Structure 1
Amino acid sequence: MKLLRPRPTPPPPPTPGDLLAEALDLHLDLGPRRILHGVTLPVRAGEVLALVGPNGAGKSTLLAALAADLPAAEGVVRVRGRPVREWTALELALRRAVLPQAAAVSFPFPVEDVVRMGRAPHGTSPVEDDAVVREAMAATEVGRFAGRPFSALSGGERARVALARVLAQQAPLLLLDEPTAALDLKHQELVLRICRERAEKGDAVVVVLHDLGLAAAYAHRVAVLHGGKVAADGAPEEVFTDELLSAVYDQPIEVIPHPTNGTLLVIPRRGVANL
């Protein structure tokens, strides 16, 4: 008779500064092409880390490597101090939650059921699961269409439901790939506020962003990727300079403080044609 393995238990809550994941001298290939070249990046509890850079810089590839969804060609990725290949899928699911760029569900599940999928790694009671699911839907403002089929939602609504599923997973490491891409202005701000709230509660959030203004306003740290390497890593006010961003994006860029609150504004320099 085959004995069932006991369900793994969730890890203890991290304390601020704990190293929840890291890439060490990471090289990664997609087919014949090398995408990442010697990337080293720590991810610590209590911070929002934004991955920014131009298209093709390797942001999503790095996020997928941290999630253990893509294998390293060289180097190592660790979660909670152990190489990702040494964790089982269920153990990883208790330690990191992943939001991909596109949320796809093959069957017309109701929204609430999609969010409840985030509870799959846990062996908790239905009552506890219900409470977590309700909280996640309330945070992402999707509770009002809990009974609607996921397939009937708009792109922005689907993105928020997918984020609610990630929140319901209650993993201490959140890996979010362009979570604001399909969202309107209000919900872009909502998602980044959620990221900050999770970090303030002790989690680590790694988020791929194209909007440098959002990264400057909400991230504790920013890693600027360029050509598959980390061109800079640090606080936004240290990393976001006219010279660096103009070089990385091959576009003249100005970084100026907001006149009332001092938040960095990242603005492309635009020429105005004479009329």
Structure 2
Amino acid sequence: MINVLLPRRGRELPPRPSPGDLLAEARGLRVRLGQREVVAGVGLRVCAGEVVALVGPNGAGKSTLLSALGGDVAPAAGEVRVGGRPAPDWSAPQLALRRAVLPQAATLSFPFPVEDVVRMGRAPWAGTAREDEDDAAVGAAMAATETAEFAARPFSALSGGERARVALARVLAQRAPLLLLDEPTAALDLRHQELVLRICRERAAAGDAVVVVLHDLGLAAAYADRVAVLRDGHLAAEGRPAEVLRDELLSDVYRQPVEVLPHPRTGTPLVLPKRDA
């Protein structure tokens, strides 16, 4: 039996999903930006308990698809469903309880302390039965992202990598069951790239669904349950990493010859560009 928390001020709160529950879905999705069709007839399902990586070359439509899955971009055709309903049927506050979005760039106009930035992720729960979790959620998010040590520093004084981790902490503090992360490792060093993807796996193991845009195919192979390869707005392939990350497909999609080798210890696909020497 699902226990639904009753809100204090009349808002319906989402129950915790069960493993395999469908949390987001795109059906025949088409998105136009100006005169260009950026997403062209894509279908994708995202379920609780899994990490789905969106990969592909620049301009393939990964970020636009991610924004559409979060209900932030209106489709020209097709449908996006979040939490069992068409995304436009949710109000903005209700949608924020069900999905958390990490954009590519984290910018703030004012020098808020880091802890206050992370606490912004708790705004959707204000006035509900779960607002008592605010301190615990903020503390856990900062510990997970290794940002607690500079909690009092202004966000504007941080390096690019530190800002990226604080932005991720804000998303984690939101405690939505669907996490949509756009290139969360782009500004990070090797240690923190691995940290972020381990967090993704931990959230999936705890019952959340994670959709993450990645350029590093090695990270996608190592951490994703499924990989969706995009090319020119189309879904070129989708499936388990070992099934999708193939020499011929990737060489064609990226217009760069590659070779895919099994890791000598784990068997995880390693994607390497072919070089003359």
Please report the TM-score for the alignment, with normalisation by the length of structure 2: 0.95
The worse-fitting range, judged by mean Cα deviation, of 177-186 and 251-260 is 251-260
Counterpart code for 1:250 = R
The 5 Å alignment of 1:1-275 reads: 6-122=9-125, 123=128, 128-272=133-277
Runs of 4+ that moved beyond 2 A: 123-128
Counterpart code for 1:160 = R
Counterpart Cα distance in 2 of 1:79 and 1:98: 13
Q: Which residue of 1 aligns with 2:4?
A: none
Counterpart code for 1:72 = P
- Secondary structure at the aligned position of 2:124 is classed as coil
Counterpart Cα distance in 1 of 2:130 and 2:93: 18
RMSD after superposition: 1.2
CA drift at 1:128: 2.7
Contact 2:22 2:83 in 1 (8 A): yes
CA drift at 1:124: 5.2
The worse-fitting range, judged by mean Cα deviation, of 206-215 and 29-38 is 29-38
Q: Which residue of 1 aligns with 2:5?
A: none
Long gaps (5+) in structure 1? none
Counterpart code for 1:265 = L
User: What are the superposed Cα offsets for residues 216-250 of structure 1, whole Å, 9 maximum, x if unpaired?
Assistant: 00000000001101000100000010011011001
User: What are the superposed Cα offsets for residues 31-83 of structure 1, whole Å, 9 maximum, x if unpaired?
Assistant: 11111110000011100000000000000000010111110000010001211
Would you say how many aligned residue pairs link Structure 1 and Structure 2? 268
CA drift at 1:7: 4.5
CA drift at 1:126: 6.7
Counterpart Cα distance in 1 of 2:82 and 2:132: 30
CA drift at 1:191: 0.1
Contact 2:122 2:131 in 1 (8 A): no
Change (3 A) 1:47 1:125: closer
Identical counterparts, % of pairs: 72
- Secondary structure at the aligned position of 1:222 is classed as strand
Counterpart code for 1:186 = R
Long gaps (5+) in structure 2? 1-7
Counterpart Cα distance in 2 of 1:150 and 1:85: 33
Counterpart Cα distance in 2 of 1:9 and 1:198: 23
Counterpart Cα distance in 1 of 2:132 and 2:9: 22
